[in-house]
Copies of this chain bind each other. A is one copy, B any other.
Amino acid sequence: MKTAGYAKRHPKQKRIVFHPIGFVRSPEKEPQLRDWDDVVSEIRIHPRWLAGLKGIEDFSHLIVLFHLSRSVGVRVQVHPRGRADLPLVGLFATRSPHRPNPIAMTICRLLKRRGTKLTVKGLDAVDGTPVIDIKPYIPDNDLVKRARVAKWIYRLR
């Protein structure tokens, strides 16, 4: 590994420190592989950010970035969803939770806002998950109509 050369060219490998802006309240208490599409949960934003939510209800979908706080350890290569019949691939080619920086990104439907409480549908985060950021889903930025994916993706369906 050419680590020395990389370090020389990129000397400022600083730590990045974030603080949760809120937490998830969900009926789901344990991580599990399942279909989360119909799970309704609540994101409770810290009251100090109330004014930052103004107008968020004008968007039907939110991009939620959250901390996979239960995820321990990195697995550099994985069989997607732990299925031995699928190929061994690099973690960055998957959505595995066992990442160098355990952060997840999920797009979910915003059903309702009441003050700092956002009711959402389809958020695959367990109860108590720290939320790092919320952004509006904007098709002009975020919609990719024709994307090519690895063949193993088709075998997940």
Partner of A93, one of B58, B93, B140, B148: B58
**B63 pairs with A105, CB closer than 8 A:** yes
Residues of chain B within 8 A (CB-CB) of A146 are 60
Interface mask (A115-156 → B, CB under 8 Å = 1, otherwise 0): 010000000000010101111111111111011111101001
In the bound complex, do residue B47 and residue A3 qualify as a contact, i.e. CB atoms below 8 Å apart? Answer: yes
Contacts A/B (CB < 8 Å), 22 sampled: A10-B44, A13-B130, A14-B20, A15-B18, A16-B17, A16-B19, A18-B18, A18-B101, A18-B103, A19-B101, A21-B100, A21-B101, A56-B90, A59-B150, A60-B148, A61-B147, A65-B103, A103-B133, A107-B144, A138-B147, A140-B156, A140-B157
